Structure formats: C-alpha cells, structure tokens
Structure 1
Amino acid sequence: MASKESEVGSNEHPTYHQADGTNGHELGRQISVTLTPQQFEELYLQPSIKSRGQAGLVKTFANPTALGIVSFLLTLSPTTACLMGWRGASSNSLLALVGVYYFHGGMALYVAGMLEFVIGNTFPALVFSSFGTFWLSLAGFLDPRFAVQSTLLTGNGGSPAVYYLPFGYYLLFWAVYTYFLTIAALRTNVVLVWILLFVALTFSTLGAAYLKFGQEAATAGANLIVAAGALGFAACMGGFYILLHLCLAATDFPFNIPLFDLGHLWPNKQQ
C-alpha cells in the first residue's frame, strides 16, 4: 500500500533582501511529513485517507482524536468507579456527575466528533458524536430538574417497571450499536477494538441490570451494576493506553507504545 503524504507548509517564501542589496536567509521553507498507512490509522483511528481534499484538511487542522478520547475517558472513568462502589460510592452517586455528563462527556465529545467530521474522518466522527449524545441523554435522565425519577417511580401511576424498563431497553440497543462499532474497528487496531468491545459489554450488563430493577429484582440488579462498572473500567484501561499513545505522537516523542495495527489483516475493498 502506498504511503500517504501530508505537506505541513506549502507557501513560497521570498528571500529577505538587506539594505545593502545582499540576500539574507530564506524566511521560510517547505516541510513535508510522510505518514505510513499504519501511522495515519493510529493517529486518526481511521483506516485511510479517502481523497486529496481530505489530506489537505488533515494537514490544515490539528488532530481532534485525542480530545474525543480524553472526553470520553474522563467521563466514563468516574462513572465506573461509582458503579463498582469504590469508597462508599454507588450508582446513586452518579447524580454528582450530571455536570460532567453535560459538558465534558456531552459537549466536548460532540465537538470532537464534529471536528472529525470536518476533516472527513467518518468513523471517529460517528463514534464521538454519538457517544456525546449518549452522555447528554444520561444527564437529562439523571438531572433532578426534570424530575424523571419522582415522576415515573413514585408519581401517580409510577412503578419500577415504568421507570427502569425504558432506560434498560435504551441501553441494550446502545449495546447492539456498539457491537457494530466493534466489528467496524477491526480495521483499525487492537486497543480500539478492546475499548469498544468492553463498552458494548458494559451497555449489555447495565441494560440487564435496569431490566432486573424493573422486575423488582434488586439484588440481581445491584450485582449486575457492579459487573457493568468492572467492564467499563476495563474499557477505561484501554482508553488510557490509547490516550498515552496519542499524547506521545502529538509531541513527536522519540518513541511510542504500539496500538497493534489490524489494517493489514483487512485489505481495502478496492483491493
């Protein structure tokens, strides 16, 4: 597969002329950076550059992938700690994270998705923007100003089934969607597949927990909540790993940790 070339500066720069008419040093120079297919996939979590136009956008804008990873990671990590009950926290403690869900998990992640959209990275744009909307929807579900719990659980005609079951179904369909993302990520790298797989398992387990709560099986539901927290924490470990890789790459560190590229196992459909 041919390498992809991204030019980081393309303007012609004049030579500086001194007062005595002699030429000074050139004010600028053209720099080009060649990314191998594996390097592009690792930096942008996207299998390939699709066109010259996209290559131009990639060289013009900064890489938004790291923002998407850190926004998702620093939202999911405290959530999993609460779900696992660390130091006395519980799933009820998630109410303290509503602001995080609105701004860090929701708005920041959605912005990262839109920036991926601008540079033509369809898969990361889909992942980041859709998960941004998930955190926003979770914030709305938990926000006491909307009184979802008091209305559906203890209000007139309310019951555990009315309150828990709809959100349980929502989480299960999110699991299906995330399994699809996991399959698609098989063209990127092992670490991203790890993250998405464990996020899908987290959604599956949380959905099952809410269905149990809806059936008033509190003990089984509580056990599933803890298991979901552990699965989500496993996803976070992969997230911290990939974040370190992106940070080292962003500063052009002399070494980096591998993401274990999978692209060579799945050739482009044109091939």
Structure 2
Amino acid sequence: MTESTPPIVAVVTNETANPAPLGLCAFGMTTVLLNIHNAGFFEMNSMILAMGIFYGGLAQVIAGIIEAKKNNTFGLTAFTSYGFFWLSLVGLLVMPKLGWAAPASEAAMIAYLSIWGVFTFLLFFGTLRLNRALQFVFGSLTILFFLLVAGDVTGNASIKHFAGYEGIICGASAIYTGIANVLNEMYGRVVLPIGPVKTA
C-alpha cells in the first residue's frame, strides 16, 4: 500500500488596506464644507455638489465595498449608506433643476432628515463596541440631523446656522478619526488617540 498524498492546504491572507480612513475623510471633509454653507458663510454652489458626488458620495461607496471584502458589516453599512446619502442629497438639489422631478416639499425634507437621524442614532449603538472617536462622530451626526429637522419644522434660520457650526465639529471629528487611523498605522504607535473600547 502506498501512503496517500496529504492534502495541500492554501492559507489566504487578506492584505487589503484599511478603507476606513478614506471613508471617514470623505464624509468629514464634505460635511465640513456643506456646514460652512449651513452656518451662512457662502451659498450653495457647485463646489459642494461636486464634493457630494465624487468624494462624499463615490469615495464612501468604494470604502464600503472594500469593508465588505474585509468582512466588516458595520463599515459596509455605514460607508455605503452615507455615500449614497450624499448622492441622494445632490439628487434632491439637482433633479428639480433638470426638470426630472418636482422639488422636495418642506415636509418631505423633514421626513428625509428624520429617517437619516434615526438611522444614525441606531448605528451609534454599534460604535459602543469600537472607539470613542467614532462614538463622537456618530453622536454628533445624530444631533446634526435633528437640529436640521428642528430648523425645518420651526422655520428658524438661527437653528440652521447653529446646526452648521455643530456640523463643522462633526465633520472635523470624522477627519481627525480618519487621519488618526492613517498615522497610527504608519508609525506603529498611537500618534493621535481614538480611545479604543476594551471588549471582554
């Protein structure tokens, strides 16, 4: 009898780069620019729309797809959702200009911002297993959505301006978290702390 040949076992290592910094910076930078507008510093213009399509939108969708490859359900859900949020927001502004649809009513915008606020609040609970920096990003984003809702419900421009300043802080925190991921990985130590949560 001849000994059977042992099976060949191939070990596949996932060497895909971490897409989270891309997604966080894309979200953060676009959020900061939009909310500088909301704070009253400049009008809605093509710069914001272009950022919403290409960086806040497409870049986050790409980051989410890569997160799927890395088996990160939270990253997939968050990045692809907010990527398409930016694309849908641009659509809400551009489609009426092209004559493709009627402009969204005030009630429709309240519903739109409210459902995104609820969605963000639910995702916030996922960050409780991740790190303090992401908790701040999702917590402040939840507040931002509901401030925008309050501004639309009351028609109070000062609430929207305040939401703009809060949105700048939210976006800046996302940029910080994204850059912290890059630098901490590059230097192999904590350059910018993100407050990792210790799990049992």
Q: TM-score normalised by the shorter chain: which range applies?
A: 0.7 to 0.9
**Structure 2 residue 15 is the aligned partner of structure 1 residue 80:** no
Where structure 2 has 5 or more consecutive residues not aligned to the other structure, the ranges are 1-9
Give the SS at the match of 1:263.
Answer: coil
Q: Distance in 1 between matches of 2:21 and 2:179?
A: 9
| Residue 138 of structure 2: aligned partner | 196
Q: Please give the residue correspondences for 1:123-202 in structure 2 after superposition, counting only pairs within 5 Å.
A: 123-143=74-94, 144-146=97-99, 151-152=102-103, 163-202=105-144
Alpha-carbon deviation of 1:253?
5.2
Where structure 1 has 5 or more consecutive residues not aligned to the other structure, the ranges are 1-10, 12-51, 153-161
RMSD: 2.2
Aligned residues: 189
- Render the CA deviation track for 1:162-204: whole Å, top value 9, x for unaligned: 6211011110111111111111101111110001011111111
1:233 to 143, 168, 175: 168
Change (3 A) 1:254 1:169: closer
Alpha-carbon deviation of 1:236?
2.0
Change (3 A) 1:146 1:210: farther
**TM-score of the superposition, structure 2-length normalised?**
0.85
| Residue 244 of structure 1: aligned partner | 179
**Structure 2 residue 25 is the aligned partner of structure 1 residue 70:** yes
- Render the CA deviation track for 1:224-248: whole Å, top value 9, x for unaligned: 2112112211212322321221121
Q: Which amino acid aligns with 1:99?
A: A
Alpha-carbon deviation of 1:102?
1.2
**TM-score of the superposition, structure 1-length normalised?**
0.64
Q: Distance in 2 between matches of 1:199 and 1:94?
A: 23
Q: Distance in 2 between matches of 1:184 and 1:226?
A: 29
Identity of aligned residues (%): 25
The structure, 1 or 2, with the larger RCO (C-alpha pairs under 8 Å, 6+ apart) is 2
- Render the CA deviation track for 1:75-103: whole Å, top value 9, x for unaligned: 111011111112xx14xx25542121111
| Residue 116 of structure 1: aligned partner | 67
Q: Which amino acid aligns with 1:61?
A: T
- Render the CA deviation track for 1:242-269: whole Å, top value 9, x for unaligned: 12211212423555121112233xx3xx
